[in-house]
Amino acid sequence: MLKEGDLAPEFSLPAADMRPVSLSDYAAQNNIVVVYFFNGDHTPGGITEAVEFSERTDAFKRAGAVVLGISPDDCLAHEAFIDEHGLEFELLSDAESVVSKLYHVVRQWELNGVIKSGIERSTFVIDRRGLIRHAFYHVSPKGHAEEILTLVKQLG
């Protein structure tokens, strides 16, 4: 698992509009980056978390931060989800879970004798130098965006 002080793994993933987005794009702009992983666009937790982050987009910008949501959903699903909920930040597609594995958020469990795999809801606050300042695994979506915003404001 990644922890505070670790260098954030670099990545490049397609956004909803299929344009590649890299972590280094935001470092070059001297932004704090909030990267959150979720298991699916149209899940109850996925909706709650996305809407709460979106409602705080301007506050994150004022604090010098951007939010990036990552899930295994494809670009078209992300585009529909953004339109449906009026989201104001980037959603990135990690269909092969390559970046999810780099951030150690892929989990396996057994259900009725079948091994399942999925994303453990997780959030990382990455400072302007590319270091992880906060790493949260097994996140509860309700109220999480406000908690992260408070931490980002403290980084200034």
**What is residue 92's three-state secondary structure?**
strand
pLDDT for residue 19 = 97
Structure tokens at 75: 């670009």
What span, in angstroms and rounded, lies between the C-alpha atoms of 46 and 121? Answer: 9
How confident is the model over 28-54, as pLDDT tens digits?
Answer: 788 999 999 999 999 999 999 999 999
Q: Hey, which CATH number is domain 12-155, 3.40.50.300, 3.40.30.10, 3.40.50.720, 3.40.50.2000?
A: 3.40.30.10
Domain positions in the chain = 12-155
How confident is the model over 90-143, as pLDDT tens digits?
Answer: 999 999 999 999 999 999 888 888 888 899 999 999 999 999 999 999 999 999
Q: Residue 97 has what DSSP assignment? A: -
Structure tokens at 146: 């406000």
- Phi and psi at residue 52, to the nearest 5°: -65, -40
Q: Residue 118: which of 49, 60, 72 has the closest Cα?
A: 72
pLDDT for residue 150 = 97
Q: Please tell me the pTM assigned to this model.
A: 0.94
User: Beta-carbon neighbour count of residue 113 at 10 Å?
Assistant: 5
